[in-house]
């Protein structure tokens, strides 16, 4: 487990000082070799505008930025007009074996989305 260390960017000591908490965190069964999010998700984003686009349009535009087929990852157990039909990454946390590598990749994706003119995201 990586633990933040004191330094000029922290107003207080950020270390986890409770050994039982550290032990619990260390023993969690995470596979840090694969970037993964928490599984507790909610339908807070995207919010749909009255006159469109729908979920398929929004997620299709995002997947199009990376030349991915959104139909492959859609969950057929939910109808296309329900938010759970699409992979949902509005989650509480992400993890990976290297926070720095994950951060670089996440920023790369975020900047690529931000820098594209996607009218589907304007609502």
Measure the CA angle with vertex 42, ends 37 and 50; round to 5°: 130
pLDDT in tens, 13-46: 888 777 787 778 778 777 878 777 777 777 777 7
Q: How many CB atoms lie within 10 A of CB 85?
A: 19
pTM of the model: 0.64
Length of the chain as a residue count = 123
**Rounded-to-integer distance, Cα 52 and Cα 65, Å:** 19
User: b vs e for 62-75, b when ≥16 Cβ sit within 10 Å of the residue's Cβ?
Assistant: bbeeeeeebeeebe
Position 108 scores a pLDDT of 94
Residues near 39 by beta carbon (within 8 Å), at least 6 away in sequence: 91
Mean pLDDT value of segment 56-69: 90
């Amino acid at each position: 487990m990586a633990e933040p260390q004191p330094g000029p960017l922290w107003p207080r000591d950020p270390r986890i000082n409770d050994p039982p908490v550290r032990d619990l965190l260390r023993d969690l069964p995470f596979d840090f070799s694969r970037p993964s999010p928490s599984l507790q998700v909610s339908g807070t984003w995207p919010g749909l505008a009255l006159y469109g686009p729908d979920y398929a349009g929004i997620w299709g535009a995002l997947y199009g930025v990376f030349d991915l087929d959104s139909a492959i990852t859609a969950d057929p157990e939910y109808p296309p007009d329900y938010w759970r039909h699409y992979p949902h990454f509005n989650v509480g946390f992400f993890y990976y074996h290297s926070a720095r590598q994950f951060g670089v990749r996440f920023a790369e994706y975020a900047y690529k989305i931000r820098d594209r003119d996607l009218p589907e995201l304007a609502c």
